[in-house]
Amino acid sequence: MGVHTFEEESTSPVPPAKLFKATVVDGDELTPKLIPAIQSIEIVEGNGGPGTVKKVTAVEDGKTSYVLHKIDAIDEATYTYDYTISGGTGFQEILEKVSFKTKLEAADGGSKIKVSVTFHTKGDAPLPDEFIKMSTKSQESHAMRVMFVH
């Protein structure tokens, strides 16, 4: 298995508690409203904590597909959220899984957002350039592109 990790830091004028609530706690409801291609996010296993598996369904270019999103860790006190995307009709065959580690920190009245994205490719397959280029995009863009780029 090939492992390729990219890290990114960005800032937001929104304080960590509010940003975490919007993107993580209320994310299943808000994401489909903010990212038009995402049609729904539904829990298929678990209670919303670690181990929970969600089905994320999207329509892009008239084609409906989905991926599975598993919560690895979630901590509202430290504003950390780790999850893994794998499987589904919209998942790239070259990938075994993609893991995200996100941490929000208070900074200048807003938030510093630290994201680490690890692509696990099958066998010794190299990571396609399209994924390397995505390493400079926001976390939401990463998730959207990783899940549904064909």
Number of other CB atoms surrounding residue 11 within 10 Å = 12
Q: Per-residue pLDDT tens for 10-44?
A: 889 999 999 999 989 998 998 898 888 899 999 99
Percent of the chain past pLDDT 70, that is, above it, reads 87
Question: What whole-number distance in Å separates Cα of residue 37 and Cα of residue 12?
Answer: 23
Residues 105-127 have pLDDT tens digits of 999 999 999 999 998 988 888 88
- The domain of 70 spans 2-148
Q: What is the pLDDT of residue 111?
A: 93
| pLDDT reported for residue 134 | 61
What are the CA-CA distances from residue 7 to residues 10, 55, 103 (Å)? 10, 25, 12
Tell which wins on pLDDT, 6 or 138.
6
Cα dist. 70→41, 105, 120 in Å?
Answer: 12, 23, 15
For residue 129, what pLDDT band results from cuts at 50, 70 and 90? Answer: confident
CATH assignment at residue 123? 3.30.530.20
Number of domains in the chain: 1
| pLDDT of 69 strictly over 70 | yes
Cβ count within 10 A of residue 53: 16
